[in-house]
Amino acid sequence: MKRVNIREAFVGEPNRSQEGLSTVFDEGLEALLLGVRGGELTIVVPAGTEEGRAVQEAECVRGVLRLENERVLTFEIQAHSVGAFFEDEPAALHRRRQRESGVDMSAIGGSHDYMAAARPVSAREAMTPDPITIRPEQSVTEAAELLAYHRISGLPVLDGSGALVGVVSEADIIAKKGETVGDIMTHEVITASAGARVEEVAAIMARERIKRIPVLDGDRLAGIISRADIVRWVAS
């Protein structure tokens, strides 16, 4: 978490009088910038607010989150408001907007830039880290709900110790019968090491005709790399 001047937090805003932004530039406020899974949150609080009370004292919460379905969700919630602003757009369009504006909207120095289009070399650089997972004992209905909610086509399955024991996909749910994820999941999982080159991962996907590959760091799940991640790498 990083504490910054309120004006630094909203660098690049086109118009300070824009609806919902006028109160943000009150000199009695400051911003806490927090890196989260897939993006960054900006929490506007009264100057001097302790970090532990940031959520309770927030005047405004804004976020930019990169979703696993190759879209970017931008949202803003004002204190005492009855609704919230949000925008859902393709990740490629979001990156292009940033390039054309010439402004780096991420103000957390030294943090990972989730919107960067730098050309990755290894699976670790191209993968989606900390993917949504499920356990073997969970129901098929729960798996379907996760896939639908997150708009993804497959989930790594982890046992109680965190070890990868399978993958459950949309195809498994449609074509197989069972009550739990363990009943229908694919047990023989093709994986890639975090240090594997992206070209190698792409070749495996093409050869095996699969849409995603779990990425392992040693024997632990580090992320998942999909066809969309490979396409983004080619485009970069």
Residue 212: which CATH number? 3.10.580.10
Of 63 and 102, more confident? 63
Last residue of a domain, one of 101, 134, 164: 101
With a threshold of 0.75, does the pTM exceed it?
Answer: no
Cβ burial of 206 (10 Å; 0-12, 13-18, 19+) is exposed
How many independent structural domains does the chain possess? Answer: 2
CA distance 201 to 122: 9
Of 15 and 181, more confident? 181
Cβ burial 111-122 (10 Å sphere, 16+ → b, else e): eeebbebeebeb
- Please give the residue range of the domain that contains residue 15: 2-101
Residue 106 lies in a domain: no
Region 137-158: what's the mean pLDDT? 94
Residue 204 lies in a domain: yes
Q: Are residues 87 and 163 in the same domain?
A: no
The pLDDT confidence band at residue 3, using thresholds 50, 70 and 90, is low
Please, are residues 170 and 150 in contact by the beta-carbon 8 Å criterion?
no
CA distance 65 to 135: 25
User: CA angle, corner 59, sides to 48 and 22, nearest 5?
Assistant: 110
Q: Are residues 144 and 40 in the same domain?
A: no
Residue 76 lies in a domain: yes
Task: Single out the residue of 75, 65, 3 nearest to residue 32, CA to CA.
Answer: 3
Neighbours of 124 (CB within 10 A): 19
Per DSSP, what are the bridge partners of residue 73? Answer: 65, 88
Residue 96 lies in a domain: yes
Region 185-205: what's the mean pLDDT? 92
Residue 114 lies in a domain: no
Residue 88: per-residue pLDDT: 80
Last residue of a domain, one of 39, 70, 101: 101
User: What pLDDT, in 10s, does the model give residues 161-190?
Assistant: 999 999 999 999 999 999 999 999 999 999
Amino acid type, 150: H
Residue 80: per-residue pLDDT: 74
What's the mean per-residue pLDDT of the chain? 79
Of 10 and 170, more confident? 170
Q: Are residues 127 and 95 in the same domain?
A: no
Q: Are residues 155 and 220 in the same domain?
A: yes
The structure tokens listed for 106 are 């991420």
